[in-house]
Structure 1
Amino acid sequence: MKPASFIYRSAEYRSGSEAATFTPASKRHFSLRLMATTDLHVSLTGYDYYRDQDTMHMGLSRTAALIEQARSEATNHMLFDNGDILQGNPLGDYAAEHRYWHNEQTGEGVHPLIGLMNMLDYDAATLGNHEFNYGLAYLEQCIAGADFPYTNANVYEVKEERYQPLLAPYILLHRKLYDADGAAAELCVGVVGVVPPQIMNWDRKHLEGHIEALDMVIVAKQAVKEARQAGADIVVLLAHCGYAEEDTPTISENAVLPLSRLAGVDALFFGHAHKLFPGEEFAGRPGVDLEQGTIHGIPAAEPGVWGSHLGLIDLELEHTTEGWSVVTGRGTVRPIFDPVSNRALVEPIAALEQAAAEAHRKTLDYIHTPVGQLDVPLHSYFSLVTDTPVVQLINEAQRYAGARLLEQTPYAALPLLSAAAPFKTGGRYGPLHYTAIVPGGLTLQHMSDIYSYANTFCIVRLDGDEVREWLEWSAGLYTTLLADEEQQSLLDAAFSPFNFDVIDGLSYRIDVSVPPRYSAEGELLHADSHRIVDMTYKGEPVTAAMEFAVATNQYRAFSTPLANPDGQRVIVDAGVENREVLIDYVRQYEHIAPIADHNWSLCYGGEQSITSVHAVFQSSPDAREWLNQHPELAFVQLEPDGFATYRMSVPVKE
């Protein structure tokens, strides 16, 4: 790639050629509305390519209606994007694989999602981790089509042992603001963006030897300082990272809390975790004021995923001849859909739907490509509470591919296991976010539905104790159950379900009567606690002396310490997507009928005078159809948000 063309020549942008009209010496007050999207994941419109149907829950063409509405309410406004726009559904995969929108001869063309962003007149954007999934050359092609500048402060290109910024570490946007009387003044807005440094692990095959990603907090601190020195009156921080209760500037994936403490930051948009801030999930957490929408006093917003919400930060500014100051600020989010009334709150913008039509048509043709035949139904409704065929299928495909890759290596004799997680399990993505495939023809759309991430296939070598520790972390999905509680929650909302690995090839039980050994972030919580019990391989107890090869993906292999304790355990880095592994497996057998082998289950190792304990969890209302196959499960009630609550009877361990 050509780094010089990747970096903006100037980090300073003006909105027009007219000179600013400055206010008199007396104090003037101005309102400025900042808006942001985050984690759009190629959701141009409200079409769910995994389910192959329209939905009212997503799509930039609907978020655009909120943008228009928010602009109409404010004289002064700016619009930003916080990253993760290029990957996340089959449209993104197709656009990257075929690059039909890019003319190789002229080097011109606009990625379909960026084309919509151009129509909406974004002011600036930053990169998310998924921007790197398809390589640096593709990233450069995509952002070259943007009519707005990109910024990132913590990714550097390695050039002859020298570091230079991949993008402008900060940008300066000059905007003319108007007060209530129509008087104008020029405001210089500094914009700084950061991305998790874990991209170096997650997309190692694309990035190693080409770039380095540094700590977000340390680098942002310097970039904010430089933006201020360069003339920024206020600074907006676009942080593509989540919130975790870590308040020190470490090499963290979720550094919002320490970032919110940086001097010189006036507004903070964040994302990556697909959550809503302000929202009840953040109640009582350090630094958070939900009523005001601030973190450590800095107005902030995290507007969900797929364009489901628009993030808003409303600033009240004061201007004198001495300069600008922020008087107050408030962060909020606005939804495109109301789950209680089950209705859309806005209609999509027709011009954007029309602009997305070609990309949509090409994607539909692509995802309808036949792959094989399914002889049994597949669904993920209960994949977090019991073994299911949909996860079984992924693990069978990975073990099949792993055996072939290991055949001619020194590791061919190692027992081969496979680790896979259920990907579509509702949660913050809503009650429609489940895999549900009926018997019949399988297409590429179904393969994306089953394995919805662009992960690549890897194999790690671990001993028996290390495999156990991996499963101990995975078992952190569950709360600690009590024998005398009826309505206790089974699932810990802080634990991301896509981190709940089922390791196939072993048999084991998860004892939910004891506290989790690890936190959701993999930190040791209770050194004496062990949830994984009765773990065996071919009927024999698993010991530290045993060694295994475990098929997995690059996220686990390169960035999860409990799956790769010393960072040296990868024995195969295939570079092929796990989804392709799944597709090849289905094509090999043509007809498939996966059956869960129930190699794992939950148990309760506490009070022995009872036969089971009860806990509740949420899933789709459609899951009721399958309850006759699960006597341990029972329907409780429908919920206002569209989910249904179910009760599970967890057997007491003998």
Structure 2
Amino acid sequence: MTLTRAIRVQSVSAGLDQVHLRLLATTDLHAHLLPFDYYTANRDPGIGLARLAELILSAQAEVPNTLLFDNGDTLQGTPLADTIVSEILPKGAPNPMISVMNALGYDAATLGNHDFDFGLDYLQSSLATARFPVVVSNADHVDGTPFLPKRLILSRTMLDGAGRAHDIRIGVTGALPPQVTAWSNPGLADTLTFTDILSAVSAEARALRADGADIVVVLAHSGVGVADAPPEAENVALQLAVEAGVDVVVAGHTHDLAAACVAENGVPIVQPAAYGTHLGLVDLVLTPEIDRVTGTTTWQLETAQVATPAVTVAPPETKTQLRRLLSPFPALRKEVAVAHRTTRNHVETPLGHTAVPLNTYFSTLAPCAVTQVVADAKRAAVAPLIAARPDLAGLPLLSAAAPFRAGGRGGVTHYTDIATGALKFRHAAHLYVYPNALCVLRMSGAALRDWLERSASIYNRITPGIDHPQPLINHAFAPYKFDRITGLRYRIDVSQPPRTDAEGLQSDPTASRIRDLCFASGQPLRDTDEALIVTNSYRAAGGGYILPKSGLDTVLTRNESVRDVIAQYISAASGPLDPAVEPSFEFAPLGGTEILFETGSGAHGHPERLAALGLQPAQPSLAANGFAAFRRTL
């Protein structure tokens, strides 16, 4: 099955007896409410539901028959969300994300995996104030009863091309990755069970048809994936479009941008990226069919066009426009202002200082201070606990860390860049953006090698001897899946094929890029050796498809978040941070072959690092994808 690009034209042509129905969708807002970056304490006019609201209202004004949906991962992801859950705001205060969604008149929503990160009590209290229904087809209580409604029908009166009113029934169901119990808040698996997305959605689609739905929309908190995804797969939007018997698929989860139709059946798939940067827009033309026996009218989908318009990055004076947008809701305006002000005050809490810049422009090219600080903080937090365990104390203690903001799907501005000087809580949050808990695994040498092979799949294959620079980084590979492991030393041979694709599907199980793998002492790491490695709860549960299926055991879990551990580590330091960056990995030489390293333009502000890594500006200095381009010889 294939996808075809389907861009919305200026207007959809609907006949006098046809109905033009517009569906709008948001996804992966991740608590980005206002156009503000709490990590850098700067305005960011290209993000946030409040900015996206202007696009929503404009799109609604164009078409009278419009529905608005949200696709999950709405309640977690910024310091605003952390401030709400920590009860720094008054206890019982409504969740401002839900309040703004109420004001915008959302028609329905589903949940994403990160909506469970703060526990069921927080999730349910947040949803209690929602004035729109939330559906999830593949979530049940352990006793088998549904966690939330699995489906619903929205009965709406809509106008046809001649202005005549008709009752149309829009069926809606939703789903999220079944892996959520492993990834999310500890104890969730004792309360809820999650089943395969395709089978759950297919069953609800059939039920919606039987209940009289004219069209069926699935809010799938799931990436596009492939048409033949295996059972219980994480990303199955394309498979849903092909097999589930639905008319529209709203995708999400992977933060990608997609606006396309399945070539074989025309089912539209829309995925509007993340953080409120884009709006999903699906224009449908419905044609009536009258049953000659009963005289009843049903509506059939005739054509579909999809698009993902972006928020316009406007000048600073749009602040007054946002105030005007909220002006009809004075209580809401006050609620949002209080939440924003409280969050800003919280993230400015002083922690310590750093003697070195902390940036991720080069984190996928060489070991860096950012991942070293994270790895050191995690190791320091568990070391006393390991020492108190006679069964563990004699094993080597390693630590894994990944750069959360280092380009990739996040784009050319998605980097950490903290200058030397004072460190505040927002900086710790920038180093570690998710509320994962600490975990310690006991692993075999073979399992550790497999882990590194998956991380090394971030690199494109480089052919030695080519006389022009070859792009090194596969930007479809999310950098948060690129773990470096401190306490080990290894080389990466990028002349060999990667073992997996960007999403983690095994493309070549025999591929081997990791060379000369040994402990920091120089002792070779054998497949039969054992070591302890500090990681996070998401990774320990298989998140990112990093860990192998065997050769590991979880031996310790701390419910304290990694972010808090980092904040405590900075606060407890006797002086400014000055991490000794371990030379964990380097590239195997390729006989003078040139590679093209693409990163954020802020890299130019670190000339000493560019020189140390042997990077020279490429020509042209900007790659076609917008990243700054540098040459290096391997």
Indicate the larger mover: 350-359 or 545-554.
350-359
In 1: Cα distance, 2:149 partner to 2:238 partner = 24
Aligned counterpart, 2:492: 510
Task: Kindly state the Cα deviation for residue 54 of structure 1 after the two structures are TM-superposed.
Answer: 0.2
Structure 1 letter corresponding to 2:71: N
Indicate the larger mover: 129-138 or 579-588.
579-588
In 1: Cα distance, 2:165 partner to 2:203 partner = 31
Structure 2 letter corresponding to 1:550: I
**Structure 1 residues 519, 496: closer, same or farther in 2, change over 3 A?**
same
Aligned counterpart, 2:270: 301
Q: Is 1:70 paired with 2:51?
A: no
**Structure 1 residues 528, 559: closer, same or farther in 2, change over 3 A?**
closer
Structure 1 letter corresponding to 2:578: A
**Structure 1 residues 295, 536: closer, same or farther in 2, change over 3 A?**
farther
**1:171-570 matched pairs, under 5 angstroms:** 171-203=152-184, 205-248=186-229, 250-278=231-259, 290=260, 296-322=265-291, 323-337=298-312, 348=322, 350-352=324-326, 354-355=333-334, 356-409=336-389, 410-482=391-463, 483-537=465-519, 538-560=521-543, 562-563=546-547, 565-566=549-550, 569-570=553-554
* Selected match of 2:596 from 597, 601, 616: 616
Task: Kindly state the Cα deviation for residue 567 of structure 1 after the two structures are TM-superposed.
Answer: 8.3
Task: Kindly state the Cα deviation for residue 72 of structure 1 after the two structures are TM-superposed.
Answer: 1.3
Aligned counterpart, 1:645: 628
Residue deviations 1:191-213, cap 9 Å, x none? 10000011011015140210000
In 1: Cα distance, 2:588 partner to 2:594 partner = 11
* Number of residue equivalences: 600
Is the Cα–Cα contact under 8 Å of residues 84 and 128 in structure 1 kept in the other structure?
Answer: yes
In 1: Cα distance, 2:467 partner to 2:554 partner = 43
Task: Kindly state the Cα deviation for residue 432 of structure 1 after the two structures are TM-superposed.
Answer: 2.5
Task: Kindly state the Cα deviation for residue 427 of structure 1 after the two structures are TM-superposed.
Answer: 3.0
Is the Cα–Cα contact under 8 Å of residues 418 and 503 in structure 1 kept in the other structure?
Answer: yes
* Selected match of 2:104 from 109, 115, 120: 120
**Structure 1 residues 74, 294: closer, same or farther in 2, change over 3 A?**
farther
In 1: Cα distance, 2:349 partner to 2:633 partner = 42
Q: Is 1:577 paired with 2:561?
A: yes
Task: Kindly state the Cα deviation for residue 563 of structure 1 after the two structures are TM-superposed.
Answer: 2.4
Is the Cα–Cα contact under 8 Å of residues 82 and 125 in structure 1 kept in the other structure?
Answer: yes
Q: Secondary structure at the match of 2:212?
A: coil
In 2: Cα distance, 1:295 partner to 1:579 partner = 46
Runs of at least 5 residues in structure 1 that lack an aligned partner in the other structure: 1-25, 104-108, 279-289
In 1: Cα distance, 2:456 partner to 2:395 partner = 25
Structure 2 letter corresponding to 1:542: L
Aligned counterpart, 1:20: none
Structure 2 letter corresponding to 1:554: S
* Selected match of 2:42 from 39, 43, 53: 53
Structure 2 letter corresponding to 1:156: D
Structure 2 letter corresponding to 1:472: E
Indicate the larger mover: 352-361 or 440-449.
352-361
Structure 2 letter corresponding to 1:87: Q
In 1: Cα distance, 2:70 partner to 2:57 partner = 15
Task: Kindly state the Cα deviation for residue 173 of structure 1 after the two structures are TM-superposed.
Answer: 0.8
TM-score (normalised: structure 1): 0.87
Is the Cα–Cα contact under 8 Å of residues 337 and 345 in structure 1 kept in the other structure?
Answer: no
Residue deviations 1:209-240, cap 9 Å, x none? 10000000001110111112122111111000
In 2: Cα distance, 1:227 partner to 1:585 partner = 53
Runs of at least 5 residues in structure 2 that lack an aligned partner in the other structure: 1-14, 292-297, 328-332
Is the Cα–Cα contact under 8 Å of residues 371 and 583 in structure 1 kept in the other structure?
Answer: yes
Task: Kindly state the Cα deviation for residue 542 of structure 1 after the two structures are TM-superposed.
Answer: 1.0
Q: Secondary structure at the match of 1:171?
A: strand
In 1: Cα distance, 2:244 partner to 2:353 partner = 58
Q: Secondary structure at the match of 1:163?
A: coil
Task: Kindly state the Cα deviation for residue 528 of structure 1 after the two structures are TM-superposed.
Answer: 3.7
Is the Cα–Cα contact under 8 Å of residues 44 and 60 in structure 1 kept in the other structure?
Answer: yes
In 1: Cα distance, 2:366 partner to 2:552 partner = 32
Task: Kindly state the Cα deviation for residue 618 of structure 1 after the two structures are TM-superposed.
Answer: 2.3
In 2: Cα distance, 1:382 partner to 1:337 partner = 30
Task: Kindly state the Cα deviation for residue 57 of structure 1 after the two structures are TM-superposed.
Answer: 1.7
Task: Kindly state the Cα deviation for residue 519 of structure 1 after the two structures are TM-superposed.
Answer: 2.9
Indicate the larger mover: 38-47 or 228-237.
228-237
In 1: Cα distance, 2:571 partner to 2:425 partner = 11
**Structure 1 residues 346, 543: closer, same or farther in 2, change over 3 A?**
farther
Indicate the larger mover: 560-569 or 88-97.
560-569
Task: Kindly state the Cα deviation for residue 597 of structure 1 after the two structures are TM-superposed.
Answer: 2.1
In 2: Cα distance, 1:240 partner to 1:326 partner = 23
Structure 1 letter corresponding to 2:46: H
Is the Cα–Cα contact under 8 Å of residues 619 and 643 in structure 1 kept in the other structure?
Answer: no
TM-score (normalised: structure 2): 0.90
Q: Is 1:627 paired with 2:607?
A: yes
Aligned counterpart, 2:8: none
Residue deviations 1:472-494, cap 9 Å, x none? 11100001112214232111133
Aligned counterpart, 1:33: 22
Is the Cα–Cα contact under 8 Å of residues 408 and 477 in structure 2 kept in the other structure?
Answer: no
Aligned counterpart, 2:581: 596
In 2: Cα distance, 1:446 partner to 1:645 partner = 24
**Structure 1 residues 253, 344: closer, same or farther in 2, change over 3 A?**
farther
In 2: Cα distance, 1:590 partner to 1:221 partner = 58
Q: Secondary structure at the match of 1:646?
A: strand
Residue deviations 1:292-316, cap 9 Å, x none? 5878521121001110000001000
Q: Secondary structure at the match of 1:569?
A: strand
**Structure 1 residues 220, 620: closer, same or farther in 2, change over 3 A?**
same
Is the Cα–Cα contact under 8 Å of residues 89 and 339 in structure 2 kept in the other structure?
Answer: no
In 2: Cα distance, 1:365 partner to 1:62 partner = 22
Identity of aligned residues (%): 35
Structure 2 letter corresponding to 1:200: T
In 2: Cα distance, 1:640 partner to 1:487 partner = 12
In 2: Cα distance, 1:387 partner to 1:121 partner = 47
Residue deviations 1:467-515, cap 9 Å, x none? 1111011100001112214232111133221100000001111111111
Task: Kindly state the Cα deviation for residue 425 of structure 1 after the two structures are TM-superposed.
Answer: 1.0
Aligned counterpart, 2:10: none
Aligned counterpart, 1:11: none
Is the Cα–Cα contact under 8 Å of residues 476 and 518 in structure 1 kept in the other structure?
Answer: yes
Task: Kindly state the Cα deviation for residue 536 of structure 1 after the two structures are TM-superposed.
Answer: 1.3
Task: Kindly state the Cα deviation for residue 126 of structure 1 after the two structures are TM-superposed.
Answer: 0.4
Is the Cα–Cα contact under 8 Å of residues 373 and 440 in structure 1 kept in the other structure?
Answer: yes
Aligned counterpart, 2:79: 90
**Structure 1 residues 366, 642: closer, same or farther in 2, change over 3 A?**
farther
Task: Kindly state the Cα deviation for residue 520 of structure 1 after the two structures are TM-superposed.
Answer: 3.0
Structure 2 letter corresponding to 1:277: A
In 2: Cα distance, 1:125 partner to 1:206 partner = 25
Task: Kindly state the Cα deviation for residue 412 of structure 1 after the two structures are TM-superposed.
Answer: 1.5
Is the Cα–Cα contact under 8 Å of residues 32 and 47 in structure 2 kept in the other structure?
Answer: yes
Task: Kindly state the Cα deviation for residue 350 of structure 1 after the two structures are TM-superposed.
Answer: 3.3
Residue deviations 1:220-274, cap 9 Å, x none? 1101111121221111110001022251451011011211123531111111110
